[in-house]
Structure 1
Amino acid sequence: MQLKKPDLFLIALFIVWIPVFFSCENSAVKNGPMVVDGVTILDERLELTLMKQDPDIVTPIGIAVDAQDRVYVLESHTHLPPTDYVGPENDLIKVYEDSNGDGTWDKESVFAEGLFEGLNIAFSPKGHLYAVTSKEVWKFYDEDRDGISERREKLLAFTKPKQVYAHAALLSIAFDTEGWMYIGRGNTGAAHWILEGSDGSQVEGYGDGGNILRAKTDGTELEVFSTGYWNPFDLKFDNYGRLLVADNDPDSRGPNRLVHAVKGSDFGYQSLFGGSGIHPYLAWNGELPGTLPYAVPLGESPSGLLNANLGRLPQDYDDQMLCTIWEESSIVRIAMEEKGLSLTGSTEVIVQGGKDFRPVAFAADSKGSIFFTDWVERVYPNHGRGKIWKLSAREITDPVTRRSVYQAPKENSKVEELRQLMADTGNFDLHFENLNAEDPYVRHAAVMALSSSEHREKLEQAMQEASADVRLGVLLALRHSDHPREAALARQFLADADPEIRRMALIWIGSHGLASQRENLEQALMAGDFTPQLFETYLETVKLLEPQYQQAYQNKEEEISKRIPLKLPDEFIAGIVSDPSHPSQMRAYALRYLEDPAGHKELLLEFLSQEAAEDLQLEIIQTLANVPDPRVADALLQVSLSTNKPVNLRAEALSALSRQPLEDWREIIPLLEVSDENLAIAAAGYLRAKSGDEAVQKAMERVLNDGSSCDSEGLRQQLMLALSQDRGKRPDPQELEEWTSLLEGAGDPDRGRRVFYSSASLCATCHVVGGRGGDLGPDLSNVGKSKDRKGLISSILVPSEEISPEWQGWFLEMNDGTRYEGRQIDVGEKQIKLYTQAEGFIQVQKAQVANYGMSDSSLMPRGLEQRLTNQELTDLLAFLQAQ
């Protein structure tokens, strides 16, 4: 068929019109920010291009660009693949090339294959591609530069453990300009780990935190450079040679963080003490002496970093970093400024996607185009989805000064000052003076220098210095020095006048296993003022020095260190509580840790009747709440009815009674009409379960209909809920803005605490706060720091909307039809372990399992808002925000 010229003209016009039409569809440039495939570019000077997507690329993770601007992508196929996964048996490294410069990739090949659990890739200064898998670091050779590797060489490898969890093992890689490569290692789940270099050099740990490891680029001279991380998913150098690390957060410590790593730095986390991050021996923002603070707070699950000067970006991106925030479906720019000898900064979202946008890793080419991988779905196992994007600038007249990856660092006086301090270890007077410095990086350099054996004698002479800051620095230096007399020196600090120094002496003794000091630990409590932190540290130190624990830890009797039971001696807490020579504050706080409260019922009841200190009585009531017994119930009832008791204690007793077998509960009905709002609300909360009783119903209706006696909105809501009266229209759980507005106003943290531990909310069934509660869900003792108010509301109303992968629910379906649900699944060759609420860890034979997988919804049930009033939710928020 022959086309006429008008037909050809129309076809040409149509061909031109098609991309214009789709460009308008995909980028709302005229009406606001550009949107591409559901992803919004909030900086309108930038544009986004979708380069590849499934099925051409699936679950891409690492990305790198070579000197010829070819883009290498690590395609994952071995990352917890489901049983029915269809795909290669190993990971691939694919190469994409734009051979004609038109902005699209027209060539594709496979550079290498055969990797297992690949996590990241990067080119070294000499142009070799390195790959990090969960257990190894590989170097690939492409001698003829054709984009296909002829051979590979293993440089680093775990010799222990045999199995690792891919998201807590080797994770990230970067190179400096002086011949070193840096590897980010996750916390390895508290397992005993040994990593070996190509020259046989080894580093190891058992219950430590994640590390930044360093070795020469040939895998020799392996060493630990920095420690105290959760899972350092990426690390990059800034323009001045500072090593910046993006670290995920433990379950109850936030936020995620960008840290400035220097040699010997410790950022506070140790896996030995569990996954919550809540432990007296741990820190997250430099709270513990000897640890360093983070530089910039980051959103949930930061995954990739890029120096913004590698891209062709607007001038105001100069000296900034880009970071992918996987959990929050976004990319942020990190603006940094100097703070002492380190950094601080803030973040701004520049790219925001929806739930199917999960950006991971960055790379930039020589033209300044930035490429990044997109995991797409919010699940860890391989799932067959994936995208590769290009982020670039539109026409800009004033771009940043571009830099190449391995260009020599720019000069910076602060960086040079810190380098010199770290290098000059012999100047005792300088570093001793710096123990008083406000800058934690200056103090870190001082402690590292003074820990040299040449300074031991002078340090011992300085132990009685007048300044507490100096004495604390001396302690830290001696602790770090491997002093042959460290047990005797640590003991002297137990009697220091400063409680923080005494606490650090306890940590020194416990972390170094100085069992000879077991009998001297209580000196730290009696030498000065009592603090809860000091007491908690004391208890944990006692546990660490128990002979049974010491033997198991030293001999590594458990492959996973945190599985070694950390227990106090029998009746240890009871001995503290019953000893009147101890301050009431200490005895009250000890009750939170009382072993077998039911077995100490008589002691607790005696204390409840005799003790006058309100703080101690409050702790006794909270402890007795979980001891269901008629005598306990009667004692709590008497407290609730006593007009001589503080209202807070009476309300607490009423809350505790909801878990007690109380026969004379009708005596509580008159409390509905007391003048104190908190007491009346507590009575209504208790009687809610009795609202079917005629006397209760009449009393509630009487109070509700009496305007003069029911001027409390919180009480009115309680009564209406108990009587199943219409409380008015409430938003759907997904309408978070409406709920945020509805729950505005001040709440009462004390009432919120009672809501948290109530049988109506069941929060404490799975969550713990301040040592009380369950452990199926995250420890919420610091949740006020890791979540804002809106985030808390979302977690309560729509718990399945955003589930932290650590708390992902899993199910087991057995061949006989039995179904288990829990978290922390561990699938071995023959057994499967699952942590459940009812039974803790269960272990089943894999052959008896018909199916297993991730639960579609959160383990936390929906509908909490239906069981609580608006005021109860507001109070609960106040309690959680106060943590």
Structure 2
Amino acid sequence: MRRNIVSYIKRFSIVCLTGIASLALQAACQADSTAAGTFRTVAGFEVELVHDISAADQGSWVSMCVDPQGRIIASDQYGKLYRVTLDDAGAAQVEQLEVNIGLAQGMLCAFDSLYININAGSKERAGTEAIGPGVYRLRDTTGDDQYDKVEYIVPMSDKAGEHGPHALVLSPDGKQIYFCSGNQVDVPESATASVVPRRWYEDHLLGRLPDARGHMAGRLAPGGWICRMDPDGSNVELVATGFRNEYDLAFNAAGELFTYDADMEWDIGTPWYRPTRVNHVQSGAEFGWRNGTGKWPAYYGDSVAAVLNIGPGSPTGIAFGTGANFPAKYQNALFICDWSYGVIYAVHMQAQGATYTAEMESFVTAAPMPVTDLVVRPQDGELYFAVGGRRTASALYRVKYTGSESTAPSTSVDAEAAIAARNLRHQLESFHGHADADAIPLALANLGNSDRTIRFAARIALEHQPVESWRAAALELTDPLALINVAYALSRVRSTQDQSALQSKLCKLDFGSLPIATRLELIRAHNLLWIRLGAPTPEQRTEVLAQLDGAFPSQAGMVNRELAATLCYLNAPNIIPRVVEQMHLASSQEDQIHYAFCLRDVSQGWTPETRKDYFQWFFDVASARGGASFGGFLNNIRQAALDNLDEAQIAALGDLAGNMPAPRDPLEDLTPREVVAEWTVAGLQAELAKLKTKPDFAKGRSLTATAQCFKCHRFTGEGGIQGPDLTAAGGRFNETDLLSSIVEPNKVISDQYQATQFLTEDAVITGRVANLSGDTIKVVTNMLAPGDFTDINVDDILERRPSPLSMMPAGLLNTFTVEEIADILAYLRSGGNASHEVYQE
């Protein structure tokens, strides 16, 4: 008997057209997006409807703040400003403000003023008189409780759109205002000061391809940015760069700044995709957004890594729970809004060194719930949030705690070691933006600090000093991390005279003995020398090859990627067949695409056989799926490679140089396998206990790919993003837990990944809401094709409810032997580490 695993996947991931009567949909789950009963919350919390904005014909609210009187001020995305007055019982009275301005996507009440950051990209301004994008200061000069004076204090470029000006927040000392913009707007001309060294560049060793659909193809570094200013709009200073579209900002109780940055969902399935992420915004930070294929990976040492990767989504408002009438855990949490997937996450942070680690939980969710902004109102300690945007149904809600835990103000304090590390970082940051001879000894002493954020702060402090005052002392450093950061700094300040000495010093490091993170930083240091200071000489090339060539391929996936790019750049001996082989052997499509990208412009060293193998891969990968730009990227990589061939070489390829086959349904492309057993958790554990063989790392990785795990799950930085990241799963779960999650996926379904069932007249559509526009909800029904949407008109929805079935198919292990399952479990437990103790047992 042959059964295809596709049959299991289809049970849960395609649109179901039968069995509607048996679904027993709950009447409490109404199609009306303003029905508070549709929300799922953490135990002890409740959601209440405060005001139905759409019913009152007051637009679609996207930004809010609280004024000194406790009134909520909000802005319609395409129209005016509104003020919400709440009585002692929580009832709302809403008025439209008389000032003829609006369109705000950032708002702040401070210094007896209302500041708004206008994103005037829309042509529909609803009668407002906005001059253009930027920061405006509104004041009441007559005492009638209406804003009558409008000043345009920070003009911005007129290219603003949804990736334009956003949040405004008060600095912890109450003296300045921080504000931000996405990557569609230039840094304000008035930002004459900067703690970010103005040396941003694309910094791509092999160049980049722009977005395959042309999205912002001309937008280059520095990307999205954060600035600060004085109350009157003067002394504007650039604080951080390299964001895609960070919408909001928030300071925690320790005065540390955070934001929630957007992904580029069209990149899903590619090696350059970066999920939405929470960023700790340190002074002078560079977060590495670049257009198209050029986004920097998190491990680049000349950038700042995320505190937490969230996954696909559309970030909007954020706020810490400081001052909320909540238990201490939630007072200290960062609440972040995902507009497209309809979730408010509570991000729980733990100080680690000079930065933080974090975990998240779904705090409030519904489908759909296009949540746009949220604020903690000090007067009642409750969390208010708005839904709306892009003319979707809009309403204002509040979250109340009704449980039994104490809600006394939190008194938690970070550990002494974390406070000391943070103070050291702050001391280094005090030298950012200006020259000070005292910065040099402290910065040099910390270039090799084990804390990456301190190393970054030290290097930025050094880059602000005259290079001749520190280059000689820096070149004397020998610690690997310190030397690598010296290479970053001298490359960025264009100290060409030091290239040869730096290259030789880097090549003396023992590559194989370094930790994986340091190996990645070392490769980046080599790359920056060539990008910023010039191509290596033949002697330098030989020296680098002696250090790196023998390490490729390795078992560390990201090291393999960086080595492949570097060795292709250097045209290392026999590099083409090695990289082509990795293209075909790699378990994840992201790795395969990376290798194809590396080879696209390599012109020397090909044989007819390797060239055919290379172009055959594009036909083999035709069933791969990803975001909206995915197929275009593959075509553009292939075309770049074809453009390097002459007529004879193209003719020799035959059909491989012709038109690409149309993408196939990924559900039909899974290789059929014989069913071994209808495995249960207990049955598998009994069989696994009998095994005496040692698990095999390579087999485990290959079999995990065969089981399609990498299609939806991320592992050691690669794979899909539709399901949870599995890298740390082995550290959190024992064998029983892992088996239960795989064999019985419907037993426990996380709110973060739970699908929704939408009942219409014609069908029950099961999937996850991924986007909204007006009255249309876009749903992903097949997690193997995250770029394909099923459109549902809101008016056609009869009922909706959380799906009792996981988007992960059941029966995934039924076509594997017990020996194969043992290898899969070992690989999951190892976290991708071939030296893990599981392989020593």
Same fold? TM cut 0.5 = yes
Deviations 1:797-826 (A, max 9, x none): 999723645999x99xxxxxxxxxxxxxxx
Aligned equivalents of 1:441, 1:464: Cα separation in 2: 22
1:715 is aligned to 2:722: no
RCO higher in 1 or 2 (8 Å CA, sep ≥ 6)? Answer: 2
Structure 2 residue matching 1:418: 3-state secondary structure: helix
Question: Which aligned pairs between 1:27-426 and structure 2 lie closer than 5 A?
Answer: 36-44=36-44, 48-56=48-56, 57-77=58-78, 91-98=79-86, 101-116=88-103, 118-133=104-119, 135-159=133-157, 162=159, 164-166=160-162, 168-176=163-171, 177=173, 179-188=175-184, 194-197=186-189, 206-251=220-265, 252=268, 256-267=276-287, 269-274=288-293, 277=295, 282-284=296-298, 287-298=299-310, 300-349=313-362, 351-375=363-387, 381-383=390-392, 385-394=393-402, 399-401=407-409, 415-423=422-430, 426=438
1:530 is aligned to 2:545: no
Deviations 1:481-521 (A, max 9, x none): 45364655654456343543651233313553735869955
* 1:223–1:542 Cα change, 3 Å: farther
Deviations 1:529-574 (A, max 9, x none): 434656754775799xxxxxxxxxxxxxxxxxxxxxxxx89xx799
* 1:453–1:211 Cα change, 3 Å: same
1:170, distance to aligned residue in structure 2 (A): 2.5
Say if 2:50 and 2:92, in contact at 8 Å, map to a contact too: no
Aligned equivalents of 2:157, 2:756: Cα separation in 1: 45
1:361, distance to aligned residue in structure 2 (A): 1.3
Say if 2:250 and 2:259, in contact at 8 Å, map to a contact too: yes
* 1:864–1:877 Cα change, 3 Å: farther
Aligned equivalents of 2:457, 2:582: Cα separation in 1: 38
1:468, distance to aligned residue in structure 2 (A): 1.2
Number of equivalent positions: 619
Of the two, which has the highest radius of gyration?
Answer: 1
Aligned equivalents of 2:507, 2:773: Cα separation in 1: 42
Match of 2:302, as an amino acid?
A: G
Say if 1:359 and 1:372, in contact at 8 Å, map to a contact too: no
Aligned equivalents of 2:92, 2:409: Cα separation in 1: 27
* 1:866–1:778 Cα change, 3 Å: closer
Counting aligned pairs with the same residue, the percent is 14
Deviations 1:232-276 (A, max 9, x none): 221111222211222234545565432221211233x3223538x
Say if 1:453 and 1:481, in contact at 8 Å, map to a contact too: no
1:347, distance to aligned residue in structure 2 (A): 3.1
Say if 1:258 and 1:294, in contact at 8 Å, map to a contact too: yes
RMSD between aligned residues: 5.9
1:802 is aligned to 2:768: yes
1:778, distance to aligned residue in structure 2 (A): 7.7
Match of 1:433 among 441, 445, 469: 445
1:780, distance to aligned residue in structure 2 (A): 9.6
Match of 2:525 among 505, 513, 524: 505
- Tell me which residue corresponds to 1:577: 576
Question: Which aligned pairs between 1:448-463 and structure 2 lie closer than 5 A?
Answer: 448-454=460-466, 456=468, 458-463=470-475
Aligned equivalents of 1:237, 1:271: Cα separation in 2: 26
Match of 2:166, as an amino acid?
A: L
Aligned equivalents of 1:244, 1:627: Cα separation in 2: 39
* 1:359–1:40 Cα change, 3 Å: same
Say if 1:752 and 1:872, in contact at 8 Å, map to a contact too: no
Aligned equivalents of 2:455, 2:461: Cα separation in 1: 10
Structure 2 residue matching 1:311: 3-state secondary structure: coil
Say if 1:96 and 1:109, in contact at 8 Å, map to a contact too: no
Structure 2 residue matching 1:444: 3-state secondary structure: helix
1:315, distance to aligned residue in structure 2 (A): 4.4
Structure 2 residue matching 1:128: 3-state secondary structure: strand
1:388, distance to aligned residue in structure 2 (A): 0.3
Aligned equivalents of 1:216, 1:291: Cα separation in 2: 28
Structure 2 residue matching 1:421: 3-state secondary structure: helix
Structure 2 residue matching 1:512: 3-state secondary structure: helix
* 1:329–1:305 Cα change, 3 Å: same
Say if 1:588 and 1:620, in contact at 8 Å, map to a contact too: no
Structure 2 residue matching 1:527: 3-state secondary structure: helix
Aligned equivalents of 1:487, 1:597: Cα separation in 2: 25
Aligned equivalents of 1:321, 1:781: Cα separation in 2: 22
1:62, distance to aligned residue in structure 2 (A): 0.4
Match of 1:264, as an amino acid?
A: G
- For structure 1, the residue ranges without an aligned partner over 5 or more in a row are 1-24, 28-34, 78-90, 404-410, 544-567, 608-618, 629-659, 662-683, 689-713, 718-726, 731-736, 812-835, 838-852, 858-862
Structure 2 residue matching 1:274: 3-state secondary structure: helix
- Tell me which residue corresponds to 2:24: none
1:603 is aligned to 2:608: yes
1:63, distance to aligned residue in structure 2 (A): 0.6
1:479 is aligned to 2:500: no
1:387, distance to aligned residue in structure 2 (A): 0.8
Say if 1:62 and 1:121, in contact at 8 Å, map to a contact too: yes
Match of 1:442 among 450, 454, 460: 454
Say if 1:254 and 1:786, in contact at 8 Å, map to a contact too: no
1:61, distance to aligned residue in structure 2 (A): 1.0
